[in-house]
Each structure stands twice: as structure tokens, then as C-alpha cells.
Amino acid sequence: IRRTAISKAEEGLVSMCEERARMLQDQFAVSVNHVHALAILVATFHYEKHPPALDQDTFADYAARTSFERPLLSGVAYALRVVHADRESFERQQGWIIKTMKHEPSPVQDEYAPVIYSQETVSYIEGLDMMSGEEDRENILRSRASGKAVLTRPFRLMSNHLGVVLTFPVYLDDLTADAKEEDRVKATAGYLGGAFDVESLVENLLRQLAGNQELVVNVYDVTNNSNPLLMYGSEVPLGNPSPSHICMLDFGDPCRKHHMICRYRNKP
């Protein structure tokens, strides 16, 4: 009887963990797909129309009305690629100067990525050079070199919540799938991205599921296997003896590995 009770409990743990991993991965995937569509929207209406048929108000309105398509993103934005030689005319035309993510006037850089369009929920990044933050900068460079969606490691977003940033590159010309890195960089117009507010939005997602009270869920970025980075949940004390189950997660960036660990909450 005891053996049966244990295996029943383990079965429950496995199925609850798999259900959560599948839900999180699916909601992540639909959010990424919709940001991809937004990158195409910017390419179509900002770059293929002269003059551009897109402005901040139109972008913000469309982003707000389609936010249901991106359940795990706190907001989306478009940052323009500005090389230093064009900085002055860009600032004159915009009527503001490029600032760092610490809200200081930007020092001289080779190039900048100031946000020109943003969803209202992340309006605090408007005008900020997204290359001034280490994680955002790495994402920008990696996305434009590959032409693909990329994710940062988990870090404290400007909202002060733990999360990751997703970036898609937007190019001026159509590039073939085998275009060289150098040509990709040259053709880069800007970056469409958003913040996965994992801390608050995954909490919401899990709260709706049966069994939430008895389960402890953690998500880790395990790209570097010997240094797992916490992406969701609270750090489990070392040497915790309670049985756990691990589910692999695929968030669509082949350079990053993630997994979910589930345990039963120790009953008092």
C-alpha cells in the first residue's frame, strides 16, 4: 500500500510538471510568433512605404490592441539602428537626445539603438539606447548577425522583475537565408523586441492551474550546465531531499537551454 502511495504521488508530480512545462512553452511560442509578425509589420509599414506609414501612436495602438496575442510579454518596442555619423541629424529630427538606460545623455558610441516606438506598458524605454544595457546589447548583436529571434539570459528588467528579453532584427533589404553576417549587419534597420516578465506573468499562469498550492515550480536557464541561472521561482535550499521532476523547455533560441523543476511543497 505504501509503495503504491509513493508511486501515485510521483505520477502526479510528473504529470503536473509536464502540464506546466507544456503550457509555459506554448505561451512562450505564441508570444515569440507574434513579435515576429510585428517585426514584419514594421518592415512593411515603416520601410517599404515612403514616407513611412507608421508612427508612435499607430504602433502603440496596434500593440495595445493585439497584446492578447503575447500573453507572457509585458510590452514590445522598436529600436532604430543609428550610427554615430547620423546621431546629430537623428536627434534634431526627433527633438530629443539619445539617453542611456541609466537615463543619462548617451556618451559617444560607434552606434546606438534608441527606442522610437513603444507599447504604452513599456513607455519608460522610449528614447533610451538599448545598446547601453549589457544583456540587451548582446541580444541586438546576436539577432542581427543571425537574422533570428534571440533571448537574453534571465536578468532584472527595468520593471525590476526577473525576466528575459526577446529580439528580432529588422532589415532594410530582403536578405536570402544564407546571407553573410557582414551583409546582415550592413542591412540592419533596427530591432523589434519585448520583455518576458517571467516573474509576474508566469506566476499568473500557474495560479490558474489545479494543484498550484502543493507544487513548487522553478525554471532555470541551463545554457551553462555548471552555472544554472534562476529564471522563475525562488532558489531551492541545497540538499533539499524531496523528490523532484525535471522537464526540458524549448523557448526557440537554439543557443539557450532551459528546464523546469517541480517538487511537492513540504507539508508543515
- The site for ligand WA2 (CB under 6 A) is made up of 77, 79, 115, 122, 125, 130, 133, 136, 139-140, 157-158, 165, 167, 191, 193, 195
Q: Min. distance of Cβ 215 from ligand WA2 in angstroms?
A: 29
Q: What is the DSSP letter of 266?
A: P
Q: CA-to-CA distance for 263 and 268, rounded, in angstroms? A: 15
Q: CA-to-CA distance for 169 and 179, rounded, in angstroms? A: 14
Q: Min. distance of Cβ 229 from ligand WA2 in angstroms?
A: 16
Q: Min. distance of Cβ 150 from ligand WA2 in angstroms?
A: 9
Name the residue nearer to ligand WA2 (CB basis): 190 or 247.
190
Q: CA-to-CA distance for 228 and 48, rounded, in angstroms? A: 43
Name the residue nearer to ligand WA2 (CB basis): 193 or 233.
193
How would DSSP label each residue in 72-92?
TEEEEEEEE-EEGGGHHHHHH
Name the residue nearer to ligand WA2 (CB basis): 106 or 167.
167
**CA distances (Å), 6 to each of 2, 12, 133, 246, 266, in order?**
6, 10, 48, 18, 15
Name the residue nearer to ligand WA2 (CB basis): 196 or 220.
196
Name the residue nearer to ligand WA2 (CB basis): 16 or 39.
39
Q: Nearest to ligand WA2 by Cβ — which residue? A: 193
What is the SS3 assignment for 140?
helix
Q: Min. distance of Cβ 175 from ligand WA2 in angstroms?
A: 18
